[in-house]
Amino acid sequence: MEQDVQTATLEEQVNPADEQEADVIEEVDNEPVDESVDVQVFGARIEAALMATDRPVPGSRLGEIASMDGKKVNGRTVAKAVAALNEVYESTGRSFRVEQVAGGWQIVTLADFAEVAAGVNRTRAATRLSPAALETLAIIAYKQPVLKADIEAIRGVACGEVIRSLLERRLVKIVGRAEELGRPMLYGTTKSFLEVFGMSGLKDLPDVAAFKQKA
């Protein structure tokens, strides 16, 4: 099954350029929820900020952007406001939620409406991943850090061009070199990979054991 790789132009105010990769959920600070913040009003401001970008925004950044009266709001208060937003979305039957993705908060479409969202993006055929690319990406995701030789041993075919394509799409990156003859490169996934597949971290990858049981 082909996957649409979505490209994005960041609004600098909402999500400033940052090339640092993050494969874990952003840690929520230890400060208590600020009860003086009007969660309904603050939540609406968070909603406006997230609608202005299609990339995840860290909670700390949302606390600055959506703050009222110049007062920075801490991460726990942001999380509380997001939870309140999601309650409203669920109670009114909305097709989306605010979820943690790749170390930040992002508005995402529910799986039940995936077909509708896909229909909007069908014109992006040129950016779709081929079955070979998806297979290679899956191997890298589960085996990382992994050598090209190991990927090719699993797939049984040469993967140089496919890996190059994944690097160009910023779904894969070079994470180091192996301590062996020739110091071959090791590959791993990127923050963009998490964003495209809607995961907060690598722990969200499907359980391989569950696939084996179904097989």
Q: In three state form, how does the secondary structure of 118-142 look?
A: HHHCHHHHHHECCHHHHHHHHHHHH
Point out the domain boundary residue: 83, 103, 128.
Answer: 128
Kindly report the backbone phi and psi dihedral angles of residue 12, in degrees, each rounded to the nearest multiple of 5, phi listed first.
-60, -35
Residues 83 and 155 in one domain: no
* Burial class of residue 101, CB neighbours in 10 A (0-12, 13-18, 19+): buried
Domain that holds residue 23: 1-128
Percent of the chain with pLDDT over 70: 79
Going from the C-alpha of 16 to that of each of 56, 112, 144, the distances in angstroms are: 11, 31, 28
Point out the domain boundary residue: 87, 108, 128.
Answer: 128
Query: Are the CB atoms for 163 and 172 separated by under 8 Å?
Result: yes
Residues 13 and 27 in one domain: yes
Q: What is the pLDDT of residues 52-61, one digit of tens each?
A: 887 889 888 8
Residues 187 and 91 in one domain: no
Task: Identify the pLDDT of residue 191.
Answer: 87
Residues 105 and 189 in one domain: no
For residues 36 and 202, give the distance between their C-alpha atoms in angstroms, rounded to a whole number. Answer: 36
For residues 10 and 16, give the distance between their C-alpha atoms in angstroms, rounded to a whole number. Answer: 7
Point out the domain boundary residue: 93, 128, 163.
Answer: 128
Kindly report the backbone phi and psi dihedral angles of residue 96, in degrees, each rounded to the nearest multiple of 5, phi listed first.
-140, 165
Residues 82 and 138 in one domain: no
CATH number for the domain spanning 142: value is 1.10.10.10
Residues 5 and 81 in one domain: yes
Residues 113 and 68 in one domain: yes
Task: Identify the pLDDT of residue 140.
Answer: 96
* Burial class of residue 196, CB neighbours in 10 A (0-12, 13-18, 19+): buried
For residues 154 and 208, give the distance between their C-alpha atoms in angstroms, rounded to a whole number. Answer: 15
Residues 26 and 55 in one domain: yes
Strand order of the β-sheet with 185-189 is 146-147, 185-189, 172-177
Residues 2 and 107 in one domain: yes
Task: Identify the pLDDT of residue 211.
Answer: 65
Report residue 30 CA to chain centroid gap: 24
> What would the two tokens of residue 63 be?
């606390």
Query: Are the CB atoms for 115 and 4 separated by under 8 Å?
Result: no
Task: Identify the pLDDT of residue 15.
Answer: 42
Residue 96's identity, in one-letter code, is F
pLDDT tens digits, the chain, 215 residues: what are they?
Answer: 334 443 333 333 444 333 333 333 444 556 777 777 888 889 899 999 999 887 889 888 888 888 877 778 888 889 999 999 999 999 999 999 999 888 899 999 888 887 777 766 654 443 578 899 999 999 999 999 999 999 999 999 999 999 999 998 889 999 999 888 888 999 999 988 988 888 888 888 988 776 666 55
Residues 152 and 100 in one domain: no
Residues 122 and 154 in one domain: no
Residues 80 and 138 in one domain: no
Instruction: Report the domain count for the chain.
Output: 2
